[in-house]
Amino acid sequence: MVRIHPSILSADFVNLERDLEKIASADGVHVDVMDAHFVPNLTFGLPMVQRIAEVTSLPIDVHLMIDDPDTWAPQYAITGVDTVTFHAEATGDAVSLARELRARGTRASIAVKPGTHVDDVLEHLQEFDMVLVMTVEPGFGGQSFMGDMMPKLEALRGRAEELGIDLALQVDGGITADTLPIAAASGANVFVAGSAVYGHASPADRIVELRAAGKGAFDTGMIDLRAIHRGLAAAGDEATGSLET
């Protein structure tokens, strides 16, 4: 199932309630919290997330790009927040934090930057409800999709199937109707799209198009992963099997 989570990073912050209404047909709303330390950008914090929860019925998918999520992430486990994502690079104890988030009533998600191995995540995969694989460097919207992250998705999906767990596998960065099918065919099923949705005259129509693009990747067999990986491996065979960039 293809799930579309538009990112409000590309919305009009002055008219945020209006822009939330424009994506009412989405499967969730992706809320990027940045602290200007973990990433070189600043957005907003808990008061804004609380207010968003008051004005939308969409499940809220909070992505914390902040230092010290072990302290701050549990505070985001509030009514209306479905999932709290913290970064593997910022936490001191990912497993303990995931368990605390679950105990507080939200789904626990861990994110990895492009240059981060997924070995530790694979080892403890059953502790997480979702894994977010960044397909751009976190911190700013509008970047190009990094196709060489696809082996991470494949490794995570393969391990989830081995364990028999219902893992949500999310991608964030450069998602369009052209790149979404590539990520879908690699195992992703939750897609964050910012400018691809809010940059369209009708965000609702674009959500429909993105869903269709992901579904079509499987219905028509138009994605040839082996061909994609041959292209990614131009510099060597390692590119198709490595869990790092």
Instruction: Please give the Cα distance from 9 to 32 (Å, whole number).
Output: 7
* Full DSSP string of 57-106: -SPEEEEEE-S-HHHHGGGG--TTEEEEEEETTT-S-HHHHHHHHHHTTS
Residue pair 20/52 in contact by the 8 Å Cβ criterion: yes
Instruction: Please give the Cα distance from 182 to 118 (Å, whole number).
Output: 19
Identified catalytic residue from 27, 129, 148, 172: 172
27 is catalytic: no
Residue pair 38/63 in contact by the 8 Å Cβ criterion: no
DSSP-derived letter for residue 173 is S
184 class by beta-carbon count within 10 Å (0-12 exposed, 13-18 middle, 19+ buried):
buried
Instruction: Please give the Cα distance from 202 to 150 (Å, whole number).
Output: 29
CB atoms within 10 A of CB 113: 20
DSSP-derived letter for residue 193 is E
Tokens of 239: 């590119």
Identified catalytic residue from 32, 35, 61, 129: 32
Residue pair 86/69 in contact by the 8 Å Cβ criterion: yes
Residues in the chain: 245
120 is catalytic: no
Q: Which residues are catalytic?
A: 32, 172
